[in-house]
Amino acid sequence: METDANESGIAMAEETRDITVTLPSNQVESIEAEVGKKGCTLDEFVSDAIERALREERWQETFRYGEAMAKKHGITREDVPRLIEEYRAEKKAATQQ
């Protein structure tokens, strides 16, 4: 187990697992150079990179869902600003009643 700090700075134990990854030599050299510049461990660097990739994939899934719903309902990109404005006006009117 590794010890990590949560957002409050409180140390928390996090379960870890070892994995083996095979990468091209030039990619390993680039990673090692970045690790040296950042002053972090290889584990920290790779873990952060994977977390960013997973976060990006979740964002892309959300974006694809939004595009599919827009297509299903016949909404174009040009419609979006108007629809947002209409929604905000409706919400504002509802809170004023």
45 and 34 Cβ atoms separated by less than 8 Å: yes
- Per-residue pLDDT at 63: 96
* CA atoms of 90 and 84, how far apart (whole Å): 10
Three-class SS state of 73: coil
Q: In whole angstroms, how far apart are CA 92 and each of 86, 88, 89?
A: 10, 6, 5
What are the pLDDT digits (tens) for 8-38?
555 567 888 999 999 999 999 999 999 999 9
Higher pLDDT residue, 90 or 11? 90
pTM over 0.75: no
31 and 45 Cβ atoms separated by less than 8 Å: yes
- Per-residue pLDDT at 93: 92
Nearest to 80 by CA among 69, 70, 68: 70
What are the pLDDT digits (tens) for 40-88?
999 999 999 999 999 999 999 999 999 999 999 999 999 999 999 999 9
Amino acid letter, residue 52: R
- Sketch the domain layout of the chain as residue ranges: 2-96
- Per-residue pLDDT at 14: 81
